[in-house]
């Protein structure tokens, strides 16, 4: 059976388990992250095949800064290499790159590479790849609230104008539809500060598969499960 994902406009993934994947093979953690990048590449391809227009990947959380400096810089190097290696592909398939999170906290060279890739793909319209980097949902909501408070302070807005729509307009995800499906790998059943506002009505799907082993089989299973679900948004069925 050919799987399609008609009502799935936005898939968001918490890519977890790279470290355990490496440990189980007696390899350094970086090898798990390297294999994780291959899973990222495969997933982008499969989303294109399934015609899922928006894909968000939780690549580096606000909390990940607390990891050993060596692991953080290895992840940053992998990210830069990913951008370089995937540039042609994103261009060929007209995929727009976006980022969410506190990008200004990233090392300058990573930030510059990202900004260049985002600018180069600005006009592309066949799909959007959103990388969550130095991202934490609570921090994002606080920044949006602060932005609105600043507007009030400068007389550009009135407190009565603050509502779900105006707050969401200040989130990093402004203009991107809310995720329909959130996947988390590696057997952990939690959201870990990922898209808390945006995933209010998202379907959640968990798998024991570690991120580097995530492939077509798992994604197809998740999409078919999503297709079977009946979304009611709090209304009666």
Q: Which residues are catalytic?
A: 16, 64
- Say whether residue 206 binds ligand FPP (CB under 6 A): no
Helices and strands, counts by H and E, the chain = 7, 6
- Say whether residue 17 binds ligand FPP (CB under 6 A): yes
203 vs 213 by CB, closer to ligand FPP: 213
Q: Which stretch binds ligand FPP (CB under 6 A): 16-24, 120-128, 175-183, 229-237?
A: 16-24
Measured distance CA(57)–CA(182) in Å, rounded: 10
Contact 82, 40 (CB under 8 A): yes
Instruction: Report, in Å, the least distance between residue 192 CB and ligand FPP.
Output: 10
- Say whether residue 74 binds ligand FPP (CB under 6 A): no
- Say whether residue 46 binds ligand FPP (CB under 6 A): no
| DSSP code per residue over 143-198 | HHHHHHHHHHHTTS--GGG-SHHHHHTTSTTTTSPPPSEEEE-TT----TTSSTTT
- Say whether residue 16 binds ligand FPP (CB under 6 A): yes
- Say whether residue 196 binds ligand FPP (CB under 6 A): no
**CA of 222: how far to CAs of 36, 112, 138, 186, 205, in Å?**
19, 35, 27, 14, 7
- Say whether residue 76 binds ligand FPP (CB under 6 A): no
DSSP H or E segment with residue 58: strand 54-61
Contact 93, 81 (CB under 8 A): no
- Say whether residue 218 binds ligand FPP (CB under 6 A): no
Q: In this chain, which of 55, 59, 182, 199 binds ligand FPP, going by CB under 6 A?
A: 59
Q: In this chain, which of 8, 11, 40, 183 binds ligand FPP, going by CB under 6 A?
A: 40
Residue 194: which of 13, 23, 20 has the closest Cα? 13
Q: Which stretch binds ligand FPP (CB under 6 A): 11-19, 111-119, 162-170, 214-222?
A: 11-19
Name the DSSP letter for residue 98. Answer: E
Residues that bind ligand FPP (CB under 6 A): 15-20, 33, 36-37, 40, 57, 59, 64, 75, 78-79, 82, 131
């Amino acid at each position: 059976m050919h799987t399609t994902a008609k009502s799935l406009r936005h898939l968001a993934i918490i890519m977890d388990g790279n470290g355990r994947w490496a440990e189980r093979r007696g390899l350094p953690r970086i090898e798990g992250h390297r294999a994780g990048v291959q899973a990222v590449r495969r997933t982008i391809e499969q989303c294109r095949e399934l015609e899922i227009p928006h894909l968000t990947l939780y690549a580096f959380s606000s909390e990940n800064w607390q990891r050993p400096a060596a692991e953080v810089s290895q992840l940053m190097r992998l990210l830069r290499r990913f951008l370089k290696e995937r540039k042609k592909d994103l261009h060929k398939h007209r995929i727009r790159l976006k980022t969410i999170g506190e990008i200004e906290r990233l090392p300058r060279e990573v930030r510059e590479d990202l900004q260049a890739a985002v600018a180069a793909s600005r006009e592309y319209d066949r799909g959007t790849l959103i990388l969550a980097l130095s991202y934490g949902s609570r921090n994002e909501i606080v920044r949006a609230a602060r932005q609105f408070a600043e507007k009030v302070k400068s007389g550009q807005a009135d407190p009565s104008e603050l509502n779900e729509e105006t707050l969401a307009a200040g989130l990093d995800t402004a203009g991107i539809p809310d995720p329909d499906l959130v996947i988390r790998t590696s057997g952990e059943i939690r959201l870990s500060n990922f898209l808390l506002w945006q995933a209010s009505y998202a379907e959640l799907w968990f798998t024991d598969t570690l991120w580097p082993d995530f492939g077509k089989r798992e994604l197809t299973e998740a999409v078919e499960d999503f297709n079977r679900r009946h979304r009611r948004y709090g209304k009666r069925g």
